[in-house]
Amino acid sequence: MVRIPEETGPRVRARELGLPLGRFKPGKYNAITDVEGVLVGHTTLIEGSGPLRPGFGPVRTGVTAILPNLGNIFMERMSGGGFVLNGAGEVSGMTQLMEWGLIETPILLTNTMAVGAVSDGVANYLVQRYPGIGDEHDVIIPVVGECDDSWLNDISGRHVRQEHVVAAINAAKSGPVQEGNVGGGTGMVTCDFKGGIGTSSRKLPEVLGGYTLGVLVMSNFGKMHNLRVGGLPVGEVLVEKFKNTPHRGKSYGSIIAVVATDAPLLSHQINRLCKRVGLGIGRVGSYAAHGSGEIVVGFSTANIIPRRTQKMVYKMKILLDQRLDPLYEAVMEATEEAILNAMCMAEPMTGVNDNYSPALPLDEVRRFVDACRPIFASVKKRPHQTSVPASKERPSDEDREGEVTLGSALPTQVRGAEGIPFPTR
Asked if the structure places residue 229 within a domain, the reply is yes
pLDDT, position 374:
78
One-letter amino acid for residue 288 of the chain: A
Please state, as a whole number, how many other Cβ atoms lie within 10 Å of the Cβ of residue 134.
12
Per-residue pLDDT of 242-258, as tens digits, reads 999 999 988 889 999 99
Chain segment 149-184, per-residue pLDDT in tens: 999 999 999 999 999 999 999 999 999 999 999 999
Q: Which of 13-27, 47-61, 191-205, 402-416 has the lowest average pLDDT?
A: 402-416
List beta partners, residue 201: 214
Element (H, E) at 124: helix 115-129
Residue 3 lies in a domain: no
- Judged on CB neighbours under 10 Å (0-12, 13-18, 19+), 405 is exposed
Q: 0.85 exceeded by the pTM?
A: yes
- Annotated active-site residue 136? The verdict is no
Q: Is residue 7 part of a domain?
A: no
* Confidence (pLDDT) at 391: 42
Given the residues 294, 329, 333, 401, the one annotated as active site: 294
For 280-330, what is each residue's pLDDT tens digit? 999 999 999 999 999 999 999 999 999 888 888 888 999 999 999 999 999
pLDDT (0 to 100) of residue 377: 66
What's the CA gap between 254 and 262, in Å, rounded?
27
Mean pLDDT of the 114-141 span: 96
* Residue 254 known to be catalytic: yes
Asked whether residue 416 carries a pLDDT value surpassing 90, the answer given is no
Task: Choose the catalytic residue: 79, 219, 286, 292.
Answer: 292
CB-neighbour burial class of residue 9 (10 A; exposed 0-12, middle 13-18, buried 19+): exposed
CA atoms within 13 Å, Cβ hemisphere of 179: 30
> Do β-strands 107-111 and 59-67 pair in parallel, antiparallel, or remain unpaired?
antiparallel
Domain count, the chain: 1
Show the domain range for 82: 21-308+318-377
Q: How confident is the model at residue 83 (pLDDT cuts 50, 70, 90)?
A: very high
Is residue 391 one of the residues assigned to a domain?
Answer: no
User: H helices of 246-395, where?
Assistant: 267-284, 325-345, 362-377
The verdict on residue 152 lying in a domain is yes
In a domain, 6, yes or no: no
Average pLDDT, the chain: 90
* Residue 409 confidence (pLDDT): 54
Question: Does some domain include residue 396?
Answer: no
394 domain residue, yes or no: no
Q: Which of 79, 219, 251, 254 is catalytic?
A: 254
pLDDT at 3 over 90: no
d(CA 79, CA 318): 11
CATH number for the domain spanning 27: value is 3.60.70.12
| Distances 33 to 15, 66, 141 between C-alpha atoms, Å | 17, 9, 24
